[in-house]
Structure 1
Amino acid sequence: MPLTEPAVTTTAPAPAPLRVATRRRLLMCRPRHYDVTYSINPWMHPEKSTDTALAVRQWERLRDLYLELGHVVEEIDPIDGLPDMVFAANGATVVDGKVYGARFRHLQRTAEGPAYLDWFARRGHTELLWPEYVNEGEGDILTVGRRLLAGTGFRTDPRSHAEAQEFFGLPVTSLTLVDPNYYHLDTALAVLSDDEVMYYPAAFSEGSRSVLRTLFPHAILATAEDAAVFGLNAFSDGRHVLLPDAATGLKAQLSARGFEPIGVDLSELLKAGGSVKCCTLELRER
């Protein structure tokens, strides 16, 4: 019998990294004309009532949070007859000051693409591209460091992925969405930092899940419950993560990783299939 017991070694959990917020410039559109009068995704039910005044108040709270966190918010004027124009993320993709315009799949939203591109042109942007192929802006094109993740399957034409790569000169990784409830990439995946994301695996094809595991082996994985409340339609400045308040599991996971989750109520806009990220287009300059 040994005279002493063998030493038991324990490994303390690694401390969460120190998160640093980066000041962002954002474009938003007040939901002055918001309504659900047609259905182009599973969340939209025109037979149910909507409350435009409530949508405005919830949107204003999101905008005010951005301002309180030190971000710059610019606004594009809403256009009567374009109730989904509030979802500014769909209006373009902006990287290094270059603006890749949006071309919408559904007739009800086609006028939004030129409206957003005109906003950029009137503010002096010269590197603008009106796309040949359907793409719905940051709804399906998300920037992670110096890489673009590009979704397809329901809205965006996969040929636009090559078009974006040529325009921005950045590598594009294509990801296929398979669940119609998560029809845009930004409903199934959120960028947290230059090398971190969170996503809902069941929203993606088997091959795309494999790609995501390879690129982001330590990603936060969302439950079906958190995905269903649009918890992945979130915005991160590197420290603060604004996301639907009902995504309690994701908030706990984010806190454990050193992020500061901030719950936001955009329940009225969810009736049209949008939340935090949908309302927020990041204006990335060089």
Structure 2
Amino acid sequence: MTPPTHYAVEYAINPWMDTSTPVDVRVAHAQWENLRQTYLALGHRVDLVEPVPGLPDMVYAANGGFVAHDIALVARFRFPERAGESRAYADWMSSMGYQPISTRHINEGQGDLLMVGEMVLAGYGFRTDVRAHPEISAALRMPVVSLELIDPRFYHLDTAVAVLDDRTIAYYPPAFTEAAQQQLHALFPDAIVVGSADAYVLGLNVVSDGLHVVLPSAATGFAAQLRELGFEPVGVDLSELLKGGGSVKCCTLEVFT
């Protein structure tokens, strides 16, 4: 995780961002700290990445790359406003003992790359270039399933899909093309289908350890669906971070060992 020390909405690169809406950095930091403490209370380890001045979106650590087993893939961002984050996250990966791998084409890390068991679901359409998917598959030595996003409100895959365990996902069908919806249904016929009310508060932007699902507290309908299936939803308020187009998962780069 990266503290929101320099967090601000200084530009608009997704539909959630409105430069005319003020951001309270004090509240954002308190909400972010509550998320960090939630992870610690659930028994997880949280490493911190040093925030860099001039990179207000760096708080959305998930976009910094993809780390699984002995492989660390660093992001290549679409927008120049975020380009500097690649170096910051590569430096962190190096400090952790990894040798960061870059892709030739644009990839926005765990924003568009979600591991489910021994495969990776990979989004494209707004940020990550589909041409990066074969590169990613080769680097990670894992199969990659390409899924096209069509609603700009769900500009990253992690806004439209939640990975709950190695076999279970939840998703919001209207975020995807018909072909992508069919792919998801074929792979996960028992997936949770989430409604618009929960999707529109980025309710699918979650982190799950297979039992506890940390999710935006406003996604009450999704929380009820999770309880019915035996998961334990843990709601957190990240309303200030939502102003930049992110929530729980966006603020969390998961490291799979």
Q: Match of 2:147?
A: 175
Distance, in Å, in 2 between the alignment partners of 1:119 and 1:58 is: 23
1:70 pairs with one of 36, 43, 46: 43
Q: Contact between 1:97 and 1:283, CA under 8 Å: does it hold in 2? A: no
Q: Match of 1:57?
A: 30
Q: Match of 1:105?
A: 78
Offset at residue 112 of structure 1 (A)? 0.3
1:229 pairs with one of 188, 194, 201: 201
Question: Which aligned pairs between 1:165-244 and structure 2 lie closer than 5 A?
Answer: 165-244=137-216
4+ aligned runs moved over 6 Å, structure 1? none
Question: Which aligned pairs between 1:1-286 and structure 2 lie closer than 5 A?
Answer: 28-126=1-99, 128-285=100-257
Distance, in Å, in 1 between the alignment partners of 2:220 and 2:255 is: 29
Q: Contact between 1:147 and 1:172, CA under 8 Å: does it hold in 2? A: yes
- Which amino acid is 1:191 matched to? V
**Structure with greater Cα Rg:** 1
Offset at residue 95 of structure 1 (A)? 1.1
Distance, in Å, in 2 between the alignment partners of 1:30 and 1:251 is: 26
Offset at residue 97 of structure 1 (A)? 2.3
Q: How many residues align?
A: 257
- Residue 83 of structure 1 aligns to a residue in which SS? coil
Deviations 1:170-193 (A, max 9, x none): 000000000000000000001000
Q: Match of 1:13?
A: none
Offset at residue 123 of structure 1 (A)? 2.4
Distance, in Å, in 2 between the alignment partners of 1:101 and 1:74 is: 17
- Residue 129 of structure 1 aligns to a residue in which SS? coil
Q: TM-score normalized by structure 2?
A: 0.99
Offset at residue 139 of structure 1 (A)? 0.1
Q: TM-score normalized by structure 1?
A: 0.89
Offset at residue 114 of structure 1 (A)? 1.4
- Which amino acid is 1:112 matched to? E
